[in-house]
Amino acid sequence: MGEPHGIGIVGLGVISAQYLETLRAHPGVQVVAVADLNVERAAEVAAGIPGCRALTVDELVADPDVQTVLNLTVPAAHAEVALAALGRGKNVYGEKPLAPGLAAAQSILDAAGSAWVGCAPDTVLGTGIQTARAAIDEGVIGRPVAATATWVSAGHESWHPNPDFYYREGGGPLLDMGPYYLTSLFHFLGPVARVSGVSSRPKAVRRIGSGPRVGEEIPVEIDTHVTGVLEHVGGAVSTVTFSFDGAATDAAPLEVHGETGSLSVPDPNQFSGDVRLRRPREKEWMPVEPRAGYVNGGRGIGLLDFVAGGGRADGTIALHVLEIMTSLMESARIGRRIEVTTTAERPTLVPLTDEERWRH
């Protein structure tokens, strides 16, 4: 093995701890630099990683030891940081969404040149989603004809001390949780040709339920229940629901239905979980043994997959998923179907890869 691939991390919020846990365990990469608006936080993180330095963003993207910039900033800063890194010839891997808007996201890919742009979610590379995809690709359920994706909660104000963002432009259940579900549907059924959406906003205000602002009311500036229909290029039809307006749901997070069977798929916000199969006239759902995906995956395996030559968490997929989401919202606004202009290639299946192999 040659020298480890140099990683520079921009943004050291809560999610960064999960990425650091994954990346520090892998000998193929080395976190060589970190940057954050909180310089004390950056210095603290750097001190805990051998060979790592705390830098400014400008210094980090220019540093010759940094080969790939891991962009963990807030969504509003995704494009600015990505473009700065690409301008220095660095690869970029970022948290979802690729950017808050389609034009900004497209500008990132347009600026890539010979560099690679990757984007979360990489949960789809774990055994849960990849096992379901393997079963679909093997014809276990016959020709797939339909799918459902469902995520329902009472809203983040019940637990988040500062939930304002979720109820402003760029927030909402679709942009917050949609990438996990829609990226999974892309892996299962391929790209989407057109969408139809309907949305609603039952509450004008929300009341914060925890933290120092408990009891404070915040305005709701976006629709908080979104449902839609996705027409996949291959002919299958997916029905999706994302909502901050229910207590919970007992529905499977994802189901895929084919001519000879149906699959119940686990939470796409996790890397594992049980895939179950049911065929016509059978009374029970039967477990599907894990047959694909990274075992015991963690945030950052999409970046490790790129370093290993896979590149499955590609930015073109993130761009396509972002357009699906923005088109659903536009369709709901104007009341008609929207043609999706972007597309992407389904990446190759992840072979069943145990923890020791993908960490070493």
Domain ranges of the chain: 5-119, 123-292+314-339
Stretch 344-354: mean pLDDT, rounded? 96
Number of Cβ within a 10 Å radius of residue 228: 25
Which of 303, 323, 322, 324 is closest to 314 using CA atoms?
A: 303
| Residue recorded with tokens 């477990």 | 287
pTM higher than 0.75 for the full model?
yes
Q: Is 121 exposed, middle or buried (0-12, 13-18, 19+ CB in 10 A)?
A: buried
What pLDDT was estimated at residue 359?
Answer: 59
Q: Does domain 5-119 have CATH number 3.30.2010.20?
A: no
Residue 245 burial class via C-beta count within 10 angstroms: exposed 0-12, middle 13-18, buried 19 and up: middle
Q: Does 358 have pLDDT greater than 60?
A: no
What's the burial of 308, exposed, middle or buried (CB within 10 Å: 0-12/13-18/19+)? middle
Averaged confidence pLDDT in the chain: 95
User: Do 5-119 and 123-292+314-339 have matching folds?
Assistant: no
Chain segment 95-153, per-residue pLDDT in tens: 999 998 999 999 999 999 999 999 999 999 999 999 999 999 999 999 999 999 999 99
- Residues 123-292+314-339, CATH architecture: 2-Layer Sandwich (3.30)
Q: What is the pLDDT of residues 200-242, one digit of tens each?
A: 999 999 999 999 999 999 999 999 999 999 999 999 999 999 9
The per-residue pLDDT for 14 is: 86
356, pLDDT greater than 70:
no
Q: What is the pLDDT of residue 100?
A: 85
**DSSP sequence for 216-228:** -EEE--S-SEEEE
CA–CA separation, 48 and 158 (whole Å): 34
Q: How far apart are CA 205 and CA 314, in angstroms?
A: 37
List pLDDT tens digits, range 258-267. 999 999 999 9
25-81: pLDDT as tens digits: 899 999 999 999 999 999 999 999 999 999 999 999 999 999 999 999 988 899 999
Distance separating alpha carbons of residues 210 and 181, to the nearest angstrom:
28
Rg (CA), the chain: 20
Looking at residue 283, its pLDDT comes to 92
